[in-house]
Amino acid sequence: MLQPRFALGVAVVSLLVGTAISSAQAPKPAAAASKNPVIVLDTAKGSIEIETFADEAPKSVAHVVDLVRHGFYRGLRFHWVQPGVVQIGDPLTRDMTKMDSWGWNGSGEIVGVAEPTKRKFERGIVGLAYKEGLKPTTADSQIFILRAPNPALNGKYAAIGRVIKGMDVVDKIVKPDAVRMCSVKN
């Protein structure tokens, strides 16, 4: 007959060995989604990857990421193209006959919060636009990518991300280039 302490020891060791074996066989939990998702805009000239700043403008980033996930930007054209900036986000740009009205529309679901960031608006920064003369709380779906620094925007707009790949593509964009596909990767 086993001594009570020895039997208890054998039981504990068996339990520990069994737990170690089952944990080794147990599936590993899925990696947590990145808190800064990357938006991918595919154009005829190449892909643009934008790392978002979810910690700096959480509601603005969540709104744009949701629009991307629902395919809102697919088929939209860059409606405002200047030497220092390109802009996209007006659903009317799908219709070439409405070119005179491009730039004044959005998804219809404004963010409703002003999240101007302290980040400097340098080349490659992506901002959430709002109509001139209106408050930042009216920002919706229009996003701009800076081709050149623009310090006049500092503290006035939500910087929602920065181009991490494809700045050469941004430099080649002309009106009315379109986004063929859009996606989010974590």
Signed CA dihedral, 88, 90, 93, 99: sign only? negative
Q: Which residues contact 72 (CB under 8 A, 6 or more apart)?
A: 91, 107, 141, 182
**pLDDT score of 174:** 97
pLDDT given at position 3? 45
Predicted TM-score of the model (pTM): 0.81
Give 8-36 pLDDT, tens digit per residue: 343 433 434 444 434 444 444 444 456 89
pLDDT digits (tens, 9 = 90+) for 133-154: 888 999 999 999 999 999 999 9
pLDDT of the residue at 29: 42
Instruction: State percent of the chain over pLDDT 70.
Output: 82
| Full set of structural domains in the chain with CATH | 38-185 (2.40.100.10)
The residue ranges of the chain whose pLDDT is under 50 are 1-32
CA-CA distance, 131 to 113, in Å (whole number)? 14
**Confidence (pLDDT) at 4:** 42
Give the number of C-alpha atoms closer than 13 A to the C-alpha of residue 78, restricted to the C-beta side.
25
The per-residue pLDDT for 55 is 95
Question: What is residue 34's predicted lDDT score, i.e. its pLDDT?
Answer: 60
